[in-house]
Amino acid sequence: MRYIRSITGNFVSISEIEFMAKLTSSKVNTQIDGIDRRLSVAPMMDWTDRHCRYFHRLLAPQALLFTEMVTAEAILHAGADRFCAHDVAEAPLALQLGGSDPKRLAAAVAAVRSYEFAEINLNVGCPSDRVQSGKFGACLMAEPELVAECLAAMADVSIAPVTVKCRIGIDDMDPILGLDRFVDKVADSGIKHIYLHARKAWLKGLSPKENRDIPPLDYDRAAALAQRRPDLHIYLNGGLVSCEQIYAELPRFDGVMIGRAAYKTPYLLAELSAELFDTPLADRYEVAGKMVAYAHAQIHAGARLHNITRHMLGLYAGQKGARVFRRHLGEQARQPDADPIIIEQAARFCAEANDRKVA
């Protein structure tokens, strides 16, 4: 027996067959522009860089991956390649932009056309002071007209769908009317996809980290929005950490976006991916082997091993040997002449500790 959350927020039990039908039904909605958004990995500054995304792709072949947020100004001043270069294997990949000037955002979107991003996403959820002083991120939730203008300007020049990521509100914004008004206005720009971090951002007095934990999560508010606007596609984000919890929420949404749990316990992506897309479950040891080959190529191109392995420390989280794996990679990858083979050595230790036969 499985449990899902009904539209009223209560848990109800359903049979395995009904459960699979519910999971599969979200597929129909999410593929309208050729992109399956049932599972995505959230944009995370300093975390979801290209090495991290390559690793996540090995675990979840169909998930939609996101870049870290890049400001439109950074692209226009420093050139797109510094922020947008990536491996073709990372596709489908969404670029997340930050900004609030429609013309500058449109210019940035035009500048990244050749990188073939699956979608371009506007950040209206980040609460940091640096972001607020540039007048973008979560503070834009108070300016839905401007957000709609930005999205329309981006869509005008974009070959990829334009989407938005936001919170359910900021500060003392009315939890019902405020979000409805924001979404209705923003949807006037023609966008169809909203990634919703289901907690408010409190713009005064909390650090960005606290703003990811302290304002309470409200999945029912997010679900009510999805029910009120069935013409839009709403993806739930915030506090999703386990398969069971995600399967319970999925029927109320078009998909889920996973942030910290994907980074700290990356094998969750493999498990979700196998169930949602009906594909073979990735094998940790094989993933480690592929990362050895990737690391060799990247080091040849000038990367440092530690900058690749730092994203992999959680690969064996919850398994025997997890601490050894973390320590071995953490210490050895920093050595001046560190060889990528240390990844295989650490994975071999864990594989054997978990009775996985290794040739």
Ligand X SMILES: Cc1cc2nc3c(=O)[nH]c(=O)nc-3n(C[C@H](O)[C@H](O)[C@H](O)COP(=O)(O)O)c2cc1C
- Contacting residues toward ligand X, per CB under 6 A: 42-47, 68-69, 96, 123, 125-126, 165, 197, 212, 237-240, 258-261
Rg (CA), the chain: 20
Backbone angles phi, psi at 264, to 5 degrees: -85, -30
Q: Annotate 159-207 with DSSP letters as a single string.
A: SS-EEEEEES-BTT--TTHHHHHHHHHHHTTT--EEEEESS-B-TTT--
Cα(356)–Cα(347) distance, rounded to whole angstroms? 10
Cα(299)–Cα(297) distance, rounded to whole angstroms? 6
Nearer Cβ to ligand X (51/328)? 51
CA dist 266 to 32, 345, 355, Å?
Answer: 28, 19, 20
Cα(342)–Cα(8) distance, rounded to whole angstroms? 50
Nearest residue to 333 via CA among 305, 296, 301: 305
Instruction: Quote the least distance from Cβ 37 to ligand X, whole Å.
Output: 15
Nearer Cβ to ligand X (182/285)? 182
Instruction: Quote the least distance from Cβ 305 to ligand X, whole Å.
Output: 21
Nearer Cβ to ligand X (130/334)? 130
- 243's tokens: 């398969």
Q: Annotate 296-308 with DSSP letters as a single string.
A: HHHHHTT--HHHH
Nearest residue to 7 via CA among 353, 182, 320, 251: 251
Pairing of the two strands 11-14 and 2-5:
antiparallel
Region of 99 (left: φ > 0; alpha: ψ -120 to 50; beta: rest) is left
User: Which residues are part of the catalytic machinery?
Assistant: 126
Nearer Cβ to ligand X (144/238)? 238
Nearer Cβ to ligand X (42/191)? 42
Nearer Cβ to ligand X (126/308)? 126
Which residue has its beta carbon closest to ligand X? 259
Instruction: Quote the least distance from Cβ 280 to ligand X, whole Å.
Output: 25
Nearer Cβ to ligand X (311/328)? 311
Instruction: Quote the least distance from Cβ 323 to ligand X, whole Å.
Output: 22
Kind and range of the H or E run holding 120: strand 119-124
Nearest residue to 235 via CA among 262, 270, 197, 183: 197
Instruction: Quote the least distance from Cβ 53 to ligand X, whole Å.
Output: 13
Residue 258, CA atoms < 13 Å, CB-side half-sphere: 29
Residue 77, CA atoms < 13 Å, CB-side half-sphere: 5
In the chain, how long is the greatest CA-to-CA distance?
A: 60
Instruction: Quote the least distance from Cβ 125 to ligand X, whole Å.
Output: 5
Instruction: Quote the least distance from Cβ 136 to ligand X, whole Å.
Output: 11
Question: Three-class SS of residue 47?
Answer: coil
